[in-house]
Chains A and B, each alone.
Chain A
Amino acid sequence: MASSKASRLGEDRRTRMDKVNAELVVLTYGTIVAQLCKDFDSDYVEVNKQLDKMGYNIGMRLIEDYLAKSNTVRRCSSFRETAEMIAKVGFKIFLNITPAITNWTSDGKQFSLVFDENPFADFVELPDDGRAQDELWYSNIMCGVLRGALEMVQMQVEAHFVSDVLRGNDTTEMRISLIRYIDDELPPEDD
């Protein structure tokens, strides 16, 4: 029930937003990754790190837009609800995709998002240098976005890709783990 409500919310908000051409996004993002690969001499570990960092900075802003657009009035009551909102509202609003939520651990602190489509990866082929296939996570910016966005709503998470169709895997899967809920910051003590 809650899940279909989230889907409807996501669909509803998306239709109200200004949209950009998908190819523009694909090409812009591709250019960023290509430039990073060049700048770091195909040190893909470093490229992943940079993408994550860029995503983190984007996420910290994007969350405000998400809150404004989704008209969220209250916090999610559980991490499961958070996952629903990420997949069905967040991804729907900003990328018009709804990744599937699977592989929950029993403590409810880790789940996977499985992307059956990935708008960033259209037309993409990883470089054929024998390393990119094993080292580069092409869409790593998304991990950073989630990390940044969730940190702003007081959840510290860790996110990484575990498989990517670009590497020849069957699915594109991102693993997200809740590390802790961040407490309210207290005002500094007056002397």
Chain B
Amino acid sequence: MVVYSFYIFDRHTECIYSKTWLPTSSDPSSGSGPATATATTTTTNHNHYNPATALRPSTADDAKLIFGAVFSLRNMVRKLGGDDDAFVSYRTAHYKLHYYETASSLRLVMLTDTATLSMRNVLHQIYINLWVEYVVKNPLSPVEHKGGVGVRNELFELGLDQFIRGLI
């Protein structure tokens, strides 16, 4: 299993946290040999497909595009399946996007490789054990995380990284 990236959007639709486990400065011309440069999760061999070049991660635009896509999908799903229906994931030829939304309209999005099974539970755990514990309960972090203030604290970052690595 490979996790490519992870995003959190708040109820104001703003991306308040994003993390990618791929090199951020992906230059299309040097698109081979990712394994050495990649930070963490690419322990498996990607000899047939290189996500680093194909996904070209981590611009602010990506977060916006992802939010637009999941938000539309979610609304469409609810229109067809009723208000209780939830959009869980979609898959392309190259990646799989997992979506989890809390009742407080916090949206967690994770991009993984296509073979990964449902990450709904994982996202739920991230919410309960990391978000609530380290971000919400941090008395000095603001209630609203405008511009991501208060989210990037050490405990949360560390916890998330360890949790994701632990999955592999």
Contact = CB atoms under 8 A, between A and B. Distances in A.
Contacts of B132: 64-65, 67-68
Nearest to B83: A75
Interface in B134-153: 136-137, 143
Interface of A: 57, 60-61, 63-65, 67-68, 72, 74-75, 152-154, 184-188, 190
Contact of B127 (A68, A75, A185, A188): A68
Contacts of B13: 185-188
Interface of B: 11-13, 64, 67-68, 71, 83-84, 102-106, 127-128, 131-132, 136-137, 143
Contacts of A64: 102, 104, 106, 131-132, 136
B103 A185 contact: no
A67 B71 contact: no
B98 to A, nearest CB: 16
B64 A187 contact: yes
B103 A75 contact: yes
A68 B64 contact: no
A67 B102 contact: yes
Contacts of B102: 64, 67
Contacts of A186: 13, 71
